[in-house]
Structure 1
Amino acid sequence: MDASQESIKSVAEDLYKPIPTEIPPAIGWKEVLVEENEDPLVAIGPFSGNKYDRIFTSSIYFGERDDSPYGRDKLKGALITTFARREVADQLTTAERILPQGLHLIVMDAYRTLDVQQSLYTQYFEGLKKQHPDWDDDRLSEETQKFVSLPSTTPSRPSPHNTGGAIDVAIYKLPEEVEKRVSAINDRIGIIGEDESEVEEVYRLEMERIGLIAKNAKLLNFGTQWDFGGVEAALNYFEGLAQHKQLSREEEEARQNRRLLYNVMIKAGFEPYADEWWHYNSVQSQMGAMTSGKTRAGYGAIELSEEDWHHELMRRKHLHGTELLTRTPVQSLDKLGRHVLWLEMAQEAAQTIGDMKETSLPRAAIIEPPEKQAA
């Protein structure tokens, strides 16, 4: 084996190092001092119009696609756009580059409004209350907060996702031919750049890329659904299980995939969260600062800017418009006058994708305590 092969082997092994059996606890994270550093929120994912547009996102809480167990408009305050602090978005692009060739990050959630936080917290809390009627509110809240933080409007104790410094991620892969086509699309968009004369081609390519990934992505096996609210979701669950039994093939596969995600995210600068394999924190968040040994956090609660809201409304209108165009006969566009050429192009792109909700991605879990934990 030559030096280059040794190097490749070493890098590969480095990405699959075991997850520590002891993950730094986040106990006391709310006491970490917050000194807001003004790092802005940025849009990531499709149509973000920036360098973060190649990170694929699927807005579970908005009900963007069929991988969501929630219907559209079922969770008040849910966003179709994934927003995160700019430094977090930069770290995500780093993580994407670290992944082995052919594997990619998918982001399910980042910045979260307090309305969504409240809905998720109440949902889990009430589920636990039904299972454990003998528990008092303090214990119910303590157990709930392992999976859903308490919504907070207190500046010194913001909810982690409401800071834009917490991220929920997984890894997917594409069939070889689809991977090649998506790569070619990325290259072409990179060449075109911001040439306004090529905006129609960029739009077609962006729509094609979205459809190819949404309908062909295969999520790696991590052992549970995303947002599963049980002990099996713990980051090092399979590391611990292996100390007591021989892992099945599926369990070993899940352990390896969790190791990969963990090592990639750590190398990109994130901090892990012990109770959820998909959740990682910026060191600028209170929770990330606590687990990394820092005494101050740079991210407090943050609200969407006017520009952010403008982008969010654009994404919603585009989604609804695209879904309408997939059902609109071509002849009907003639009645719309001078905009017909643009609409014909948009309709062609929409009908190429087909059903915008259709996806090959597995359905996420509703965040609630598993029935098997019932007393």
Structure 2
Amino acid sequence: MSELYTKPIPAVALPDWELLRKVPIDEHDDALVPVSLSQNIRVYPAYYKMRVVGAIPECFVRSRVFEKLIQAARTLPAGLNLVVLDGWRPIAVQQYLFDTLTNLIQRDQPSLDEMQRIAIARTLVSPASDDRNNPSPHLTGGSVDVTLCDDEGRLIDMGTAFDEASPLSWSAALEEVQGDTVVAAKQHRRVLYNAMLSAGFSNLPSEWWHYDFGNQLWSYYRDEPAAIYGVTSPDSIERLWQQQLSLTCV
């Protein structure tokens, strides 16, 4: 059996958020590109399909992330396909997700203070930030949420649903679970994890679906000296024309 199936996912801690804030960003200005144009990757923009206000019907990632995704997709065993659920994310969507989760935590656990609620929420959703020195990971175009499907497009069992608020959503959680019911899901997580890391990504340990390349999380977990992606956004026609007119006037 391939090492993709047999190599366990290591138990890793969440980042030290204060250290993460201090990771320098040496912006490389790679453009955002639409993942849906690839014939090697399936795209299902999950938040748009769930009708989250402000969510977009495309998954954009930085151009180098796009190439890494293709690399990961090509290493998957026959019958398994990479599915991208989310990439670059508008800050309004990030704010909605974070506010919704923290409000639910407050309702469910009213004795917690604000910092405790934020700490719990951060295992699933980052606070919304367009701070150029510490942006939300998905706002950089370097974060991507992924899963697997079969050749017919059926989503593969990964042990929990995408974005499920469960301790079993931690990437390595199934490594500690015994029994026949989790064998397939455990192997599928390993395949995804090992394929993505071999392509150069890092994984957020509390989310089996979340991977990073080029941003501060990637720098932190891959021990890189600096991140190469900060805040970005898809080109608008207004910004494109502004750039062209500026060049014309020089």
Q: State the distance in 1 between where 2:201 and 2:34 align.
A: 19
Corresponding residue of 1:160: 137
- Shift of residue 307 of structure 1? 5.9
| Correspondence 1:254 to 2:244 | no
Amino acid at match of 2:220: M
Number of residue pairs aligned between Structure 1 and Structure 2: 238
Task: Give the whole-Å Cα distance in 2 for the aligned partners of 1:142 and 1:77.
Answer: 25
* Contact 2:143-2:210 within 8 A present in 1 as well: yes
Distance, in Å, in 2 between the alignment partners of 1:19 and 1:54 is 25
Q: Which amino acid aligns with 1:100?
A: P
Partner Cα distance (2:159, 2:121) in 1: 21
Match of 1:19 in 2: 9
Letter in 2 for 1:56: R
Q: 1:53 Cα shift?
A: 4.1
Match for residue 45 of structure 2? 59
Say if 2:225 is the partner of 1:239: no
Query: Helix, strand or coil: the match of 1:170?
Result: strand
Unaligned runs of 5+ in 2: 241-250
In structure 2, the partner of 1:305 is 235
SS in 1 for 2:129: coil
Percent of residue pairs bearing the same amino acid type: 30
* Residue number among 33, 37, 53 corresponding to 1:76 in the alignment: 53
Give the 5 Å matches for 1:214-293: 216-241=152-177, 247-282=178-213, 284-293=214-223
1:137-176 aligned at under 5 Å gives the runs: 137-174=114-151
Alignment of 1:113-192 (within 5 A): 113-174=90-151
Pairing 1:23-102 to 2, within 5 Å after superposition = 23=12, 25-27=14-16, 28-45=19-36, 48=37, 52-63=38-49, 70-71=50-51, 75-102=52-79
Give CA-to-partner distance per residue, 1:202-234, whole Å, 9 cap, x none: xxxxxxxxxxxxxx4121111101110121100
User: Taking structure 1 as reference, are residues 217 and 142 closer, same or farther at Cα in structure 2, changes over 3 Å only?
Assistant: same
Q: Secondary structure at the match of 2:83?
A: strand
- SS of corresponding position for 1:125: helix
SS at match of 1:223: coil
Question: Which is higher, the Rg of structure 1 or of structure 2?
Answer: 1
Q: Structure 1 residue 295: deviation in Å?
A: 2.7
Q: What are the Cα deviations for residues 3-38 of structure 1, in whole angstroms up to 9, with x where unaligned?
A: xxxxxx5xx1344311113x2642232221112110
Q: Answer whether contact 1:109 1:168 (CA < 8 A) is retained.
A: yes
Judged with a 3 Å threshold, the aligned counterparts in structure 2 of structure 1 residues 307 and 239 are, in CA distance, closer, same or farther, namely farther
**Secondary structure of residue in 2 paired with 1:155:** coil
Question: For each residue in 1:213-271, what CA deviation from the matched residue of structure 2 results, as whole angstroms up to 9, or x when unmatched?
Answer: xxx41211111011101211000001123xxxxx2222111111111111111111110
Match of 1:104 in 2: 81
Write the distance in 2 (CA, Å) between the matches of 1:14 and 1:135. Answer: 41
Return the offset for 1:308. Answer: 11
Q: Is the 8 A contact 1:16 1:263 kept in 2?
A: no
Distance 1:41 1:16 in 2: 34
2:246 maps to none
Partner of 1:200: none
- Kept in 1, the 8 Å contact 2:202–2:222? The answer is yes
> Does the 8 Å contact 1:30/1:287 carry over to 2?
no
Native 8 Å contact 1:25 1:291 kept in 2: no
Provide the rounded CA distance (Å) in 2 between the counterparts of 1:248 and 1:44.
37
Any idea what SS the aligned residue of 1:298 has?
Answer: coil
Higher helix share: 1
Distance in 2 (CA, whole Å) between partners of 1:304 and 1:250 is 42
Q: Any unmatched runs of 5+ in structure 1?
A: 1-8, 64-69, 175-215, 242-246, 311-375
The alpha-carbon distance between structure 1 residues 111 and 230, as it changes in their structure 2 partners (threshold 3 A), is same
Contact 1:117–1:151 (8 Å) recurs in 2: yes
Alignment of 1:297-336 (within 5 A): 297-306=227-236
What SS does the corresponding residue of 2:81 show, helix, strand or coil?
A: strand
Secondary structure of 2:135's partner?
A: coil
3-state SS in 2 of match to 1:38: coil
What secondary structure does 2:165 align onto? coil
Give the conservation status (yes or no) of the 8 Å contact 2:84–2:145: yes
C-alpha contact 1:43 1:308 (8 A) present in aligned 2: no
> Is contact 1:226-1:278 (8 Å) kept?
yes
Given that 1:120 and 1:148 are in contact with CA atoms closer than 8 Å, whether structure 2 keeps it comes out as yes
